[in-house]
Every structure is written in C-alpha cells, then in structure tokens.
Amino acid sequence: MQEDLLSLAMESGVLLDPELADYLAERRHPVDSLLAILEAVNPRLLVLTLDEVQALNPIPPTPQVTPASAPVTARVRKDRLGTRREDYESEIVVRQDITGHSTCTGEMRDFSRYFNHRYKVLSRLLRARRELVGAVSIDRALKMAREVRVIGIVQSAKRTRTGNYLLLIEDEEASCQVLVPAEGPGADGAPVPDEVLGIVGRPWKDDILLAEEIVRPDVPPSHAFAGADEALCAAFVSDLHVGSRLFLRDRWERFAKWLGTEEACRIKYLVVVGDVVDGIGVYPRQDEDLAVDDVYRQYEEVGAMISALPEELQVIILPGNHDAIRPAEPQPALPEGIQQAFPDGVLFVGNPSLLRLHGVDVLCYHGKSMDDLVTRIPAVTYDRPLTGMVEMLKRRHLAPSYGGKTPLAPERTDHLIIDALPSIFATGHVHGFGIGEYRGIRLLNASTWQGQTAFQRMHNISPKPGMVPIVDLKTGETFAQAF
C-alpha cells in the first residue's frame, strides 16, 4: 500500500515522506485520505510530511496558480516620416537561412544529431548563466547531498493536479525526474518538451531532483538596440492569404497607396512574414473558402500587388505554413517557379531568417510554433502574440517542442535556435497584432490581411487585420499604422 501511495503522490507532483505513507496506510481509506490531503495542501509543497498533514486543521483552500504576465509593453502611435528611401540603396546581409543548405533525409541518425546540436548550443548558453556556475552532470548530481546545478533537455513535462511540473530531463549520459514547484522562481513559464534548461535543486532519493529554480538561457537584461546610421524604417506585413475569399483587398490597396505618400517615404524595407497566399489543400474543404483555386495564380496576384508598390521599396518575402513549400521548419525560400511571378528585386528568404537590414539584425519567423506554445504555456494566448515571442526568447528557440503542431525537419544543425540575438524580432501567423520590447529587443507581430475565417470564429479567435508595425532602424522606435 505504501508504494501505491508514494506513486499516487508522485503522479500529483508531491513526494510523500515515508512516515506519512505509513500513517496513511493504516487509515481505513488510505487513497481517499491522500487525495483529500493533496486537495488541501499548498500546491508549492514538494515534500509532504506527517507534521504538515497534522497541521491541516482546518483544511485551507487550495491557492490558485496565476500565470506570469510577460514583461512587454505595446503602444501604437503615428509618426511623422521625413527622409527619402530613394536616396539609399538597400543594404541586406542574409546572416542565417536554410535555403540551399538543407541536409535532412529524415533518418533516425538525423534526429539524434539534431537534438545533440540543440543540447550543445543551448547548454553552452546556459553555462554562461551565473546561476549555473559549477553545473555538474545529472549522474553526479544525484549522488550529491547538497544543492546541485544541472543542465538537461526536457524529454517530457507533465503538469500535475497540484499545478507542479514533473519533468524527465536528460543530459549526454543520464536522465532523471525533476519536480518543479508551481510557483516561485522555478515557475517562470511552464517547462515544455525538448527545451534545454538548467535546474538548481537538491537530490531526493537517488533518482529525483527537487527544483528550487529553473534557469533558462534567456536574453541578457542589457541587450542594447544597435541602430542604423540612416533614419530609414522597416515595415512588416504578414498573412496576406491572397486567393482566399476573405482577403481584404480594399485595406491592402489603402496601404499600398499610403506607401507612395510623403508620410511613408522613409520606409525602405517591407518584410512579408509568411502566408503570402492562402494556398490549396492546406486544410480540409479549403476550396470552399477560395476565390482563386490555383496556387500559381494566387502568387501571380501577389506579384501584381508587389509590382504596384514604389520601385525603391525593398520587398523581402519569407514563406509560412500556407505557402507552396515544404511545411517542415526551417522552410527554404519559395521555389524559383513561383519567384518568377514577382517583379525583379524582391528578395526571397527562408523561414526563419536572420537578416541584417542597414546594419540592424532582424529575426523573421512566421510563427507556427505559437500553436504549440498556447496549449503548453498558460501565459501565452493568441490575443497577445508577444507573450509567445517572449517565451521563445527565454528558451532561445523558435519552436522548442518537437512532434506537436509545428513540423520540424531534423537538419544537421538546429536552425530554430536563437543563437545570435537580433535587434528586431518579427512574427505573424496568429493574425493578431502587437508591438513591444523585451530586454531591448523590439518585438512585433505583423497582423493579417484576411478577415475572420470560419475556423477562427469557431475557436473564438478575433483577427486584427490591416495593422502595420514599423520600426525606425536608427532609433529602434516602433509604431504602427492602421489600414
């Protein structure tokens, strides 16, 4: 019976002191008693002792777990734009992009190489954290009788009924279970499968660590905005979904016209963050929602829309999950046959891409992994896409979990790691909108040009179409224009 009680408590994220297990085993309904106690105790409690149970009189209410709010701010204001784009040639360096470098064959050894690379790079970033100085291997940590620090990749992460997290982590040699409290420093964003994190804690009975703190690679607090010399701007759009019946052509045309005005003449770069077209066969019965049911004609329409924009505006396009390219990330640039539908001078890059625009590093990622983050991290919602972006930055990874809704290709190296830190981080995909900042990195989610779909209506998702985030590449000032 004691063994059953110990494992039942463990499932709930609490370790039972053996004395308490003996005490419960002698009661008439040991399991029911344990369940009642688990309901009543503080969910932060990791080890439950007989003293604590005897002190439960009267039984206190179970405290609620409150999700941490992300430290982002959003402000929207118009700006008076002055200098002219035609005075400057575009200056672009593609710093990271899978296009032309894919090595993935999908074999088993690809996967182990891929995750080894992820562990190596992220554990290097973690070792630089003050909190993890003196980190040891899991094997060694379990044999120590004091506070330990380890670095591991999360094999599984389970939320227990008390709100604590039960993890299985592994490093290059061993694995162990880790119990993480629901609140406190260790609860700063839920652990998700396949992320690499540091644990500060103490061993419990040879094979379990009790976490006192989770340490993530994160972004240094002082990451400064490295601005351009010229007062040029970059504007970001996403999720045009051309070809859909719900494509908002009027709004797009207002935007296109505005780009030609004096007010917009400092905008040198227009970055399209994926889902350029609605595509075909992306979801069941999509043909009912299409105004154009030929994917090539959809791209021809976008090509014509881009041709109508000012000639000196540098357009950069990356694909999203609706585009005509492999869905597994990292996605290469749109294929040549499709690029021909666009005017000369458009730059096609992969998803994600790290670009240097006039000296400013811009990380562009369509944002498909947001579909996984919203289900796994209570603080992340579709309404507030920047919350998901902050969680990516904390983990220094654009799509931490493998095997969810985000298909990932096991390339030789993990291209979704955020190794070099950008000054601007742009996403789309959720059809929301947001501008803000996290530790000096400008964050933006680039809205959509598609009205509310039946799927979104069913799931209570309200898109925020026609919002264009704009970043002043010299000062880092971020604002938005509505159309």
**Residue 414 Cβ, how far from Fe ion at the closest point, in Å?**
21
Under the binding rule (CB under 5 A), the answer on residue 171 touching Fe ion is no
- Mark the segment that binds Fe ion (CB under 5 A) among 10-18, 273-281, 346-354, 382-390: 273-281
Contacts of 460 (CB under 8 A, 6+ apart): none
C-beta atoms surrounding 474 within 10 Å: 19
**Residue 252 Cβ, how far from Fe ion at the closest point, in Å?**
15
- In the bound state with Fe ion, the residue whose beta carbon lies nearer, of 238 and 481, is 238
**Residue 273 Cβ, how far from Fe ion at the closest point, in Å?**
9
Choice from 321, 369, 423, 478 touching Fe ion (CB under 5 A)? 321
- In the bound state with Fe ion, the residue whose beta carbon lies nearer, of 162 and 453, is 453
Burial readout 20-51 (b: 16 or more C-beta within 10 A, e: otherwise):
bbebbeeeeebeebbeebbeebebbbbebebe
Choice from 203, 320, 385, 463 touching Fe ion (CB under 5 A)? 320
Contact letters for Fe ion, residues 216-255 (x by CB under 5 A): -----------------------x----------------
- Mark the segment that binds Fe ion (CB under 5 A) among 113-121, 135-143, 205-213, 315-323: 315-323
- Mark the segment that binds Fe ion (CB under 5 A) among 97-105, 144-152, 201-209, 316-324: 316-324
**Residue 53 Cβ, how far from Fe ion at the closest point, in Å?**
50
**Residue 366 Cβ, how far from Fe ion at the closest point, in Å?**
6
**Residue 321 Cβ, how far from Fe ion at the closest point, in Å?**
4
- In the bound state with Fe ion, the residue whose beta carbon lies nearer, of 65 and 461, is 461
Per DSSP, the residues of 110-155 read HHHHHHHHHHHHHHHHHHTSGGGTT---HHHHHT-SS-EEEEEEEE
**CA gap 405, 304 in Å, rounded:** 33
Under the binding rule (CB under 5 A), the answer on residue 463 touching Fe ion is no
| Cα 401–Cα 404–Cα 406 angle in degrees, nearest 5 | 85
**Residue 351 Cβ, how far from Fe ion at the closest point, in Å?**
10
- In the bound state with Fe ion, the residue whose beta carbon lies nearer, of 321 and 406, is 321
- Sign of the Cα torsion 337, 341, 347, 353 reads negative
**Residue 274 Cβ, how far from Fe ion at the closest point, in Å?**
6
- In the bound state with Fe ion, the residue whose beta carbon lies nearer, of 9 and 302, is 302
- In the bound state with Fe ion, the residue whose beta carbon lies nearer, of 429 and 442, is 429
**CA gap 201, 146 in Å, rounded:** 9
- In the bound state with Fe ion, the residue whose beta carbon lies nearer, of 181 and 367, is 367
**CA gap 114, 196 in Å, rounded:** 13
Number of residues that bind Fe ion (CB under 5 A): 5
C-beta atoms surrounding 11 within 10 Å: 13
Backbone angles phi, psi at 250, to 5 degrees: -60, -45
**CA gap 222, 366 in Å, rounded:** 26
**CA gap 140, 173 in Å, rounded:** 10
**CA gap 431, 378 in Å, rounded:** 20
- In the bound state with Fe ion, the residue whose beta carbon lies nearer, of 239 and 391, is 239
| Cα 266–Cα 268–Cα 274 angle in degrees, nearest 5 | 130
**Residue 422 Cβ, how far from Fe ion at the closest point, in Å?**
20
The conformation of residue 30, written as its DSSP 8-state character, comes to: H
Under the binding rule (CB under 5 A), the answer on residue 429 touching Fe ion is yes
Residue written as token pair 């039984």? 59
**CA gap 434, 384 in Å, rounded:** 7
- In the bound state with Fe ion, the residue whose beta carbon lies nearer, of 99 and 244, is 244
**Residue 329 Cβ, how far from Fe ion at the closest point, in Å?**
11
Nearest Cα neighbor of 238 from 270, 281, 265, 282 is 270
- In the bound state with Fe ion, the residue whose beta carbon lies nearer, of 194 and 329, is 329
- Mark the segment that binds Fe ion (CB under 5 A) among 127-135, 211-219, 272-280, 413-421: 272-280
Choice from 97, 171, 194, 275 touching Fe ion (CB under 5 A)? 275
Residues at the interface with Fe ion (CB under 5 A): 239, 275, 320-321, 429
